[in-house]
Structure formats: C-alpha cells, structure tokens
A and B are shown apart, each in its own frame.
Chain A
Amino acid sequence: SQQGEEDPQALSIQEGENATMNCSYKTSINNLQWYRQNSGRGLVHLILIRSNEREKHSGRLRVTLDTSKKSSSLLITASRAADTASYFCATDEGPYSGAGSYQLTFGKGTKLSVIP
C-alpha cells in the first residue's frame, strides 16, 4: 500500500531558486529517506532522517521531519539545471520480521524541472 505521498506532483522553477517538496505518510516510521531518479534510470539515495531527528542537512539539501504531522519536506537551495529529476520519499516502517526483511515504501514522486 502507498505510504509516502509527495506534493506537488510536478514543480518547475528557474535556476538559482529554491525548490521545496513535501511528503506525507500514514503510519509510524523508523526513518524516512529521500531519493532522486533521473529519467528512466535507477534511484539514488540522497538523505535519511531518523524518526527522532527533526532536521538534517547535506550540501544544498535540507530535510525536515514532523512526526506529529506525519510529514517531511525536502528543500534544494540554489537549484541547478542538473537537479532536474524526480524526487521520491520512502518510509521504513518496520517492524522487522523473518531474517531481517523490511519494507521501504515509496511515493509517486515529485518531478522537478529546473530551467536554465
């Protein structure tokens, strides 16, 4: 079942502007992750934020997590044309079962276009 749901579905901005994408989820989580996917290629992990963290930074990326609202946001500052891609949030819900399996549940993604 779908857990994370990104908003907006598509976002178009000018190079140099900031891009903000949001993710909402339904159940309790162990952590939330953001991934990036260039057209027709594999996903690349960007950042992981644990359920007891509220904010995390990595380069031009800033992620926030509000577990009371079951939501997260990804901010990309000073965007570049190369940031054009789809961005997905994924939730790790646990609990773990079997031989350590887990379910990482993805949303439909936000398609970001950065115009030079």
Chain B
Amino acid sequence: ETGVTQTPRHLVMGMTNKKSLKCEQHLGHNAMYWYKQSAKKPLELMFVYSLEERVENNSVPSRFSPECPNSSHLFLHLHTLQPEDSALYLCASSQDPVSGITEAFFGQGTRLTVV
C-alpha cells in the first residue's frame, strides 16, 4: 500500500462511452501525475498537476481530460476513446519537487480496455 489509491482497477468501455478514472492520495503531496503504460513501450507521462494547477500536458489527445479539484484528488475523464488507448493508466504523487524530493508514489493502476 503506497498511499495512492486508484479506482476502478479494471475498466472495459466502448468507443462511444464516457468514463472517469479516479486517484486519491493521503500523503500530503502537492504534485500528482497521470502516466500511460502500454505493452513494450516506456511509461508515458500524460499530465502533471502541481498545487492543483496543470503544469504539463505532453501532447495528449483531447479525448483525455484531467481534473484536479484539490491536492488529494485527480481524475482522468475519458470520452470517445480508440482501441489503441487500451493500456494501464497509473496515477502518481510526489512532494513538490522545488523542495528537492522527487520520489514518486504510484497507485496500482487502472487496466483500461477499449472495445
């Protein structure tokens, strides 16, 4: 248990569906992240929030929409996804790296399958 909880653990959705992934951290961290992990590819950083402000968006398609209502919660809203979006989506948090600490704590991930 890392202190970062993701729900749901598994999700199957059709290409016309709308769903949301949820992430919650109880570590008092200021920064939260969404990563995508596809088979045989490096972990891809999708979004970074620091102090609830989005500071990085690595050219992610608009069918992925993040939301960070407070420093403990992070959502990833999904709509009109494609089968190639099937992957393990990982949430992570860290203390604000300005303090010099950049160790990331990951959730268990949501295994997403788009059919």
Binding site for B on A (CB under 8 A): 2, 30-31, 33, 35, 40-45, 48, 88, 90, 92, 96-109
Contact B55 A99 (CB under 8 A): yes
Q: Which chain B residues border A107 with CB–CB below 8 Å?
A: 42
Distance of A99 Cα from B102 Cα, bound (Å): 14
Q: Which chain B residues border A103 with CB–CB below 8 Å?
A: 45, 48, 56
Query: Beyond A92-B102, A99-B51: 16 further Cβ-contacts under 8 Å?
Result: A30-B102, A33-B103, A35-B104, A40-B111, A41-B109, A42-B4, A42-B109, A43-B43, A44-B2, A45-B105, A48-B102, A88-B43, A90-B104, A100-B55, A103-B48, A105-B42
Does B106 belong to the interface (CB within 8 Å)? Answer: yes
Which among B6, B41, B98 has the greatest number of chain A C-beta atoms within 10 A? B98
The minimal Cβ–Cβ distance linking A76 to chain B, given in whole angstroms, is: 19
Binding site for A on B (CB under 8 A): 2, 4, 6, 30-31, 33, 40-43, 45, 48, 50-51, 53, 55-56, 88, 90, 92, 96-98, 102-109, 111
Closest to B4 in A: A42
Distance of A96 Cα from B98 Cα, bound (Å): 7
Q: Per a CB cutoff under 8 Å, which of B90, B97, B109 touches A100?
A: B97
Q: Per a CB cutoff under 8 Å, which of A2, A35, A101 touches B31?
A: A101
